[in-house]
A and B are shown apart, each in its own frame.
Chain A
Amino acid sequence: MNFTIRPAARTDCKDISRMIRELAVYENMQDQVKISHEELERDGFCDSPFYQSLVAEVPEDRGRAVVGYAIFYYTYRTWTGPTVYLEDLYVRPEFRGKGIGKAMMNTVAKVAKQRQCSCLHLSVLDWNQPSIDFYIAKGGRNLTATEGWQFIRFEGDAFENLVQGAPKN
């Protein structure tokens, strides 16, 4: 299948937002999506963007259609330096099995290497065996299973309480 991977533009945010919801449905968490294409536009295309993004396009009758996306950002390990975190990787179901997901992941890794990143991280749900198999086949290691890392989050009231506890001026 003929496809193109390119950096996302601001105008892609509506398509990306739609696919974010499709991915959330796949992960059985559609009620968790709180942001819209407007936040994506503001946060990804400002002077200091919070994330980078790619889209996958295929030709269609009247131009091209966006059929997949990836969202990633730079992080840091104080032991080894810059790293990249792959937040989302998604291809519409009817376009899977054609190398599009792999091509987007390769592109993220290439961009990460150019910025001297030493590793790529991501999270996957423990029941999502197709995705786990995909990443393990690419040489990924499951740090939760092998080293016992647990991902911890503060949000809502707990986050507010933490903020309130900060030293005041």
Chain B
Amino acid sequence: MQPPPHPSEVEPPCRRRDRDMDFTIRAATLEDCKDISRMIAELAEYEKVSDQVKITQRDLEQDGFSKNPFFHGIIAEVPEHHRSKDGHTKVGYSLYFYTYSSWKGRAVYMEDLYVMPEFRGKGIGKALMSKVAQLGLAAGCHQLNFAVLDWNKASLEFYLSQGCWDVTADMGYHCMRCEGDALEHLAQGDP
């Protein structure tokens, strides 16, 4: 089987017309990092954790567009005449990467999915998520995984309506994190 394709290798930009809004889904490029950084900040504000964003536009450029990228990205773009009230045409994004299940094999993890508030309800979020699934399938993946905060009822309902299931609620898996001093001690082999 081939290595995972880069998004730009899978298909050219494609247009959709949904509920009177033209939009394009395409692979993210280095030049998109400024808008991705802007939208990451907007998403963090929505999740009430703006003070936790430490990544800059430059970090995104290095981490996503080097020889061994940590992530891939896709962008939702609208034509100029539909630009946002602040003048933006890049109105949504998704960042994803490939993971592995020791039981099921190749999988794709969707780290972020975001559409600017004034562009919601037009199928853009669904189109972005479907594109991630399509790219994952092309890479030989059989699962699309991601995380949602339990208070984010609107997002949970959206995802469940698309046929996914809540692994935490149904199987009891809890997400654990080790960071900061704890990660330092672990790396040093402290007892």
Contacts and interface: CB of A to CB of B under 8 A. Distances in A.
Interface of A: 20, 23-24, 29, 32-35, 39-40, 42-43, 46-48, 50-51, 71, 73-82, 85, 87-88, 102-103, 105-106, 109-110, 112-113, 118-127, 132, 135, 138-145, 147-155, 157-159, 161-169
Contact of A76 (B111, B182, B186): B111
A166 to B, nearest CB: 4
Given A79-B44, A166-B127, A124 B176 contact: yes
B65 interface: no
A101 to B, nearest CB: 12
A47 B184 CA distance: 30
A75, A125, A163, most chain B CB atoms within 10 A: A163
Nearest to B51: A79
Contact of B159 (A51, A119, A152): A152
Contacts of A35: 101-105
Contacts of A32: 103-104
A162 B131 CA distance: 8
A163 B172 CA distance: 27
B184 to A, nearest CB: 8
Given A109-B178, A121-B176, A124-B174, 16 more contacts: A20-B102, A78-B60, A103-B189, A120-B178, A120-B186, A121-B177, A123-B173, A126-B173, A147-B149, A149-B168, A151-B147, A154-B164, A158-B163, A167-B127, A167-B131, A169-B14
Contacts of A78: 40, 43, 53, 55, 60, 71, 95, 111-112
B178 A135 contact: yes
Interface residues of B, number: 84
B149 A150 contact: yes
A159 B174 contact: no
A75 B70 contact: yes
B19 to A, nearest CB: 14
A144 B185 CA distance: 23
A75 B111 contact: yes
A102 B191 CA distance: 8
A168 B17 CA distance: 12
A76 B127 contact: no
